[in-house]
Structure 1
Amino acid sequence: MKFENPQFEQLVTSLRSAPFRPEITTEEVPAPMRLAPYSLAIAAEVLEGENDLSNGRLVLLFDPQAVPAWNGTTRLVTFTKARVEADLASDPLLTQVGWTWLLDCFSQRGIKAAELSGTVTRTSSDSYGELNSHALEGTIEIRASWTVPDQIELHVAAWGDLLCQAAGLQPLPPGITRIKKTH
């Protein structure tokens, strides 16, 4: 797919080349049309067998005129969601931990996110009546947006790291690549 703007085309090429762990599956999905003149969105899941451990969406926004609130031309917006154990869902520190996961993912990739903002939500739900046999469930949702000064592929890879962190996967040491199972 060709885009009208060569800068955006380069951003998309870099985004598509971002390295993800083999547990992550991605696909391009419809992007919001009114937030910026140019946008692209991807959805991702971290799977273990048939189990969806975490999932999310990442939206690339580009405005060649620069948006004052962004303090730049390029912005990433993410929504990341994962199931957590019931006792974690009731822990009031979980939201701080979730935000720290995001910051750590940036740090581990050696990047800075400008104009970073977001929210972390924790929920827990009990089932009743016919659903009473379901265990207490909890989720964490991390919503964030930031301006990308450069190296967008590293920012996208950091988002992939966040998906894995939220899924409970151990981080890989620098320079180590996990090989995907073939059977």
Structure 2
Amino acid sequence: MAAAHGHLADGADGADTTPAPFRQAVQALRAARTRLEVEVEPMPAPKRLAPYACAFQASVLERGGTGAQGEGEELADGRFVLLYDPAGHDAWRGTFRVVTLARAELEPEMGADPLLPEVSWSWLTGALEARGVLYGEPSGTVTRAGSSYFGGLAEQEPSTQIEIRASWTPAGEPEGGSQAPPDLGAHLVAWCDLLCQVAGLPPLPQDTSSLGGVVPLPQRRGPQPT
């Protein structure tokens, strides 16, 4: 996986003045490993949300396709942003905040399921819990949007897209009366698990527990307008 890009500050003498917790968090993100179907790349981080930030964009690709590396169509995509404010943030109730987006296309009948928003949110919380990460102050939205095509596009089937926007505050493990830094790499891996789930991929044999009892909906990527 490519390295993360963050807002890293240099002093007048060129020394790195980035706070150690953020440097450690970026290193943990760089060291995270996801399943082969997920491609994660760094992207420009937002500059106004926190003093320090790093960001990734990710895609879930169908394996065994006709691409140069055996890749097929894109099944899901999203972004993962880590924010850090050394002074803390009242709304976060912490110094770190994870902000994410995951989206994929569904069969229209699946998108019409009235329980889809609740199930989709349970995928996120289940993925975090399956990886054993601690978190607090979760918030987010689940949006579904349908498209019908007309005129020159009338032959295309209707499509429905699901979009999960979520944020949460990573928490550390209690350690000798103090709080150890959160394992941000595990948070990224858990989010990639969510991305694979909205893409409709079956869990890996060692990850069967990550479904949390929720059966993934069969999904496909709909044809794109030209």
The TM-score, its normalising length taken from structure 2, stands at 0.74
Which residue is 1:179 aligned to?
none
Task: Map Cα deviations across residues 13-43 of structure 1 (whole Å, 9 max, x no partner).
Answer: 0011112111001111011100000000100
26, 33, 37: which one aligns with 1:19: 33
SS at match of 2:129: helix
Q: CA RMSD in A?
A: 1.6
Q: Is residue 2:139 matched to residue 1:110?
A: no
Q: Higher relative contact order by CA 8 Å / sep ≥ 6: 1 or 2?
A: 1
Is the 2:25–2:183 Cα contact (8 Å) retained in structure 1? no
Runs of 4+ in 1 over 6 A off after TM superposition: none
Q: Is residue 2:89 matched to residue 1:67?
A: yes
Number of residue pairs the alignment of both structures matches = 176
SS at match of 1:148: strand
Q: Is residue 2:151 matched to residue 1:119?
A: no
Q: Give 1:5 shift.
A: 2.0
State the distance in 1 between where 2:42 and 2:95 align. 21
Which residue is 1:161 aligned to?
193
State the distance in 2 between where 1:111 and 1:159 align. 11
State the distance in 1 between where 2:197 and 2:127 align. 9
Letter in 2 for 1:19: R
State the distance in 1 between where 2:146 and 2:73 align. 19
SS at match of 1:31: coil
Letter in 2 for 1:76: V
Q: Give 1:85 shift.
A: 1.0
5+ residue gaps, structure 2: 9-17, 63-70, 172-181, 209-226
Identity of aligned residues (%): 46
The TM-score, its normalising length taken from structure 1, stands at 0.91
- Computing the radius of gyration from Cα coordinates, the structure with the larger value is 2
Letter in 2 for 1:27: E
5+ residue gaps, structure 1: 177-183
Letter in 2 for 1:73: T
